[in-house]
Amino acid sequence: MSFLELKNITKRYGPMTAVGDISLSVEKGEFVSLLGPSGCGKTTTLQMIAGFVEPSAGTIRLDGRDITRAKANSRGLGIVFQSYALFPHMTVFDNVSFGLEMQRVPKGERKPRVEEALALVHLSPYAGRYPRELSGGQRQRVALARALVIRPPVLLLDEPLSNLDAKLREAMQFELRDIQRKVGTTTVMVTHDQSEAFSISDRVVVMEAGRITQIDQPYRIYEHPQTEFISRFVGKTNLLPGTVTAATAGGASVSLAGIRVDVETAGLSAGETVTLCIRPEKLRLTAPTQGLLTGRVADRYFLGSQWLYHIDGPLGTLMAVTPNDGSTPVETGAPVGLDWSPAVVRIHRGTLAEAPDPALEVAG
Amino acid sequence: MTRNGPVALIFHTLVVLFMLAPLAIVCLVAFTPENTLSLPTHGFSLRWFEAVFHHPDFVQSFWNSLWLALLSATLAVGLAVPAALAITRFEFPGRGFLNALFLSPLIIPHLVLGVAMLRLFAIVGATGSFGWLVAAHMVIVTPYVMRLLIAAISGFDRSVEQAALSLGASEATVFRRVTLPMILPGVTGGWLIAFINSFDELTMSIFITSPSTVTLPVRMYMYATESIDPMMAAVSALIIGITAVAVLLLDRVYGLDRILVGQH
């Protein structure tokens, strides 16, 4: 039996279903992220675990105990809110000490525990300050210390890094993971930022329209997205519609607007309509006519460590990313060949559901 | 912050002068040794202050007004805190009506309220009752408290309360340790405005005070209709002094801008 278990959890608001029949098991000590666009039900799910929202159906078990209807103040979970939700009228020390006070920890024992928690987040010198006297990153740490000091069985993080600037967010990501490893607290984080979810989670739960569409390790989700939505939401991707012409020994042969491409996916049958997904970094630029396709560089963008090319060809505009390894980048307007190995192609059955949503592309 | 230009400075000085001059003149006149309200005054005397303290009616009315303002402001806050919390946080039938009801005394002229209360007091046999006077003042001051409290509660981040709950606090503890301290600027500001409004109220009180419950403004009004002498100025100077001390104290202890602007 897993440590935290959500079984067939549903939340309806009137006729609207915010979360529809989701099940999730989290092991002890695991770091799991709920990833999805806004409105996908991830925050509602977190609020149900926290006890702020009551599920319409389903059960939540913590360490074997049914807590579905337990009050929020009896669950003993540590929560870090997006707005940090620090007590503005209390010092950093009193903020962290509050939970211990509520648990009736004797005064003499409180002080060392608060100090220990503040040391964990490197805030010992700030114990006497008020939240308004701290920077965003420091407030974030206070919130984390306040949640961890009560030694919660589960730590819940609601978009914990979204209010920090890019540089700090990256640093905090690793620190968060570091702290979580150190204390070993089972953690569930809600985020809409895939790089955040990928870099620090053991497993990522992708949610879409109130449902879970994939639960997997970050690398597997990136490399083997189970739906077209995931391949678009998680990172950048080229989606190419095609038709299977023949099943072969090692996979299948697909025709993309008359161009024949081999894939390694088994179980496809001739005549089937499919969508090919190829990550931009899996495309190789070659000399014109030497690749599978020939195109022309429509635009190129310098991303620091990488070059991003938009290449016009017979299949429309494709994205390709090459590392900035010091070699001369291809000029805009120049003809270029595109090549890839059959192993990197992922197949989704059926046609493109809808045009890619630009808002979701940005999240990549 | 941009600095004021010379024209703006002159304008601001004139506005401040216009507002302060009457108060300053009243205070000056209060120290006259003469029998009439005269300025410029010849000499300096505390005889009119002495006269106030030897005038038992004024002393009695002062205590009446003080108790009345303390009680009505405190009770109004006690009523308005739960009411404002309910109105801003919950959706329930009659919410809009309740909100309008609490704020409605603002738009009813005090003269009308006075006549209505006079009638009500006569019907229930409450004429001369101090308790009913407090209730009538509560009606007038509650809207001010409600306005400030609703503003304070609307800008409240509820996740702070959720955080306290998650740390194991009971709902009562959350209110006492988190919610109340966080809306305290609204509460104290509301209480202060309620106190000043009640202490200052004349129009309605004229109708519903009886000889034993006459408030200071009513006493001053009655006195002034019969005779004008510098004792009125002395009473006014005392009220100005007390108010100024109270506001200064509040500023020292709590910070006026926190009450009036609501900064944390």
Q: Does A74 touch chain B (CB under 8 A)?
A: yes
* Torsion on CA atoms A353, A356, A359, A362, rounded to nearest 10: 130
Contact A77 B166 (CB under 8 A): yes
Whole-angstrom distance, CA of residue B152 vs CA of residue B188: 11
Q: Which residue in B160, B166, B187 has the most chain A C-beta atoms within 10 A of its own C-beta, making it the best mutation to test that interface? A: B166
A286-319 pLDDT per residue, tens: 888 888 888 899 999 998 899 999 999 888 889 9
Contact A88 B182 (CB under 8 A): yes
Domain(s) labelled CATH 2.40.50.140 in chain A stretch across 236-349
* Pair type for strands A4-13 and A57-62: antiparallel
Q: Does A255 touch chain B (CB under 8 A)?
A: no
Give residue A29's region: left, alpha or beta (phi > 0; psi -120 to 50): left
Q: Which of B159, B169, B181 sits opposite A89 (nearest CB)?
A: B181
Helix extents (H) in A149-253: 166-183, 194-200, 218-223, 228-233
A78 bridge partner residues: A155
B21 bridge partner residues: none
Q: Which residues of B touch A51 (CB under 8 A)?
A: 165-166
Chain B residues with CB under 8 Å of a chain A CB are 157, 159-160, 162-171, 173, 177-178, 181-182, 184, 264
In angstroms, what CA-CA distances link B17 with B12, B38, B40, B46, B218?
Answer: 8, 20, 18, 26, 28
Q: What is the CATH number of domain A236-349?
A: 2.40.50.140
A364 closest CA partner among A231, A200, A189: A231
**HSE-up of residue B75 (Cα within 13 Å, Cβ side):** 18
Q: Which residues of A touch B171 (CB under 8 A)?
A: 73
Report whether the peptide linkage leading into residue B40 is cis, meaning its omega lies within 30 degrees of zero: yes
* Torsion on CA atoms B157, B160, B166, B168, rounded to nearest 10: -130
DSSP character string of B53-112: HT-HHHHHHHHHHHHHHHHHHHHHHHHHHHHHHHHHH---TTHHHHHHHHHGGGGS-HHH
Q: Minimal Cα distance from B166: which residue of A?
A: A73
Contact A146 B169 (CB under 8 A): no
pLDDT in tens, chain B (264 residues): 567 788 999 999 999 999 999 888 888 888 888 887 777 667 788 888 888 888 888 899 999 999 999 999 999 999 999 999 999 888 888 888 988 888 888 889 999 999 999 999 999 888 888 999 999 999 999 998 998 888 888 888 889 999 999 999 999 999 999 999 988 888 888 888 899 889 989 999 999 988 889 999 999 999 888 887 888 888 889 888 888 887 887 777 666 666 565 544
Whole-angstrom distance, CA of residue A250 vs CA of residue A268: 11
Q: Which CATH number fits domain A4-229: 1.25.40.10, 3.40.50.300, 3.20.10.10, 3.40.50.620?
A: 3.40.50.300
Q: Sheet with A346-349: list strands edge to edge.
A: A259-263, A251-256, A238-248, A273-278, A346-349
Q: How close is the nearest chain B Cα to the Cα of A363, in Å?
A: 26
Domains, in order of start, for chain B: 55-260 (1.10.3720.10)
Q: What is the pTM of this model?
A: 0.80
Q: Which residue in A80, A89, A97 has the most chain B C-beta atoms within 10 A of its own C-beta, making it the best mutation to test that interface? A: A89
Give the per-residue pLDDT at B200.
86
Q: Does A82 touch chain B (CB under 8 A)?
A: yes
A97-128 pLDDT per residue, tens: 999 999 999 999 999 999 999 999 999 999 99
* Three-state secondary-structure class, residue A258: coil
Q: How close is the nearest chain A Cα to the Cα of B169, in Å?
A: 6
Q: Which of B164, B171, B264 sits opposite A88 (nearest CB)?
A: B264
Domain(s) labelled CATH 3.40.50.300 in chain A stretch across 4-229
Contact B159 A73 (CB under 8 A): no
Q: Which of A77, A89, A132 sits opposite B182 (nearest CB)?
A: A89
> What is the arithmetic mean of pLDDT over A203-211?
93
